Structures are given as C-alpha cells and as structure tokens.
C-alpha cells in the first residue's frame, strides 16, 4: 500500500507541476498577445498619422488649385468685357 500512496503522491505532484506550467504558458501567451496588439496598434497609429498628413497636404493643394482657378476665371471674365483696340 505504501507503493500505492507514493505513486499517488507522485502523480499528484506531477499534476500540480503540469497545472503550474499550464498557468505559466497561458500567462506567456497572454503577454505575447498583448505585445502583438500593442505593436499592431503602433503600426496602425503610424500609418494613420501618415494618412492624415497626406490628406491635409492634398486638401491644401486642392484649395490652392481651386483659388487659382477662381482667379483665372475672374481674370478671363474681366478681360471679356473690355473691348481691345488694335494697335494698343
């Protein structure tokens, strides 16, 4: 019977050891997952910043081109109403 008790105790210790290893493994997986999420979010933020910068530049260029177009149209319209004399 002593052998049965020692074998049972050995199995209990092995189970307890495996449970500890499982907990450590789960904690490691959780940390790795959190690290991956932080890295992903960092990359997303970096690209979002770049997208915002490019979008702002594009909006500025569109605004400048639109203003230039309005000025050009106003100048053309203004010049249409003034008859030109030959030789001047």
Question: How do residues 26-61 score in pLDDT, each as one tens digit?
Answer: 999 999 999 999 999 999 999 999 999 999 999 999
Q: Radius of gyration of the chain from Cα atoms?
A: 38
pLDDT of residue 78: 80
Cα–Cα dist 14/60, whole Å: 68
Distance of alpha carbon 1 from alpha carbon 42, whole angstroms: 61
Separation between Cα atoms, residue 11 and residue 6, nearest integer Å: 9
Per the confidence metrics, is the pTM higher than 0.75?
no
């Amino acid at each position: 019977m002593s052998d049965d008790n020692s074998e049972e105790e050995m199995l209990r210790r092995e189970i307890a050891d495996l449970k500890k290893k499982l907990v450590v493994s789960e904690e490691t997986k959780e940390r790795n997952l959190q690290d991956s999420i932080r890295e992903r979010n960092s990359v997303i933020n970096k690209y979002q910043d770049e997208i915002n910068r490019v979008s702002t530049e594009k909006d500025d260029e569109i605004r400048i081109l639109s203003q230039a177009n309005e000025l050009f149209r106003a100048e053309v319209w203004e010049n249409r109403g003034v008859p030109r004399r030959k030789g001047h």
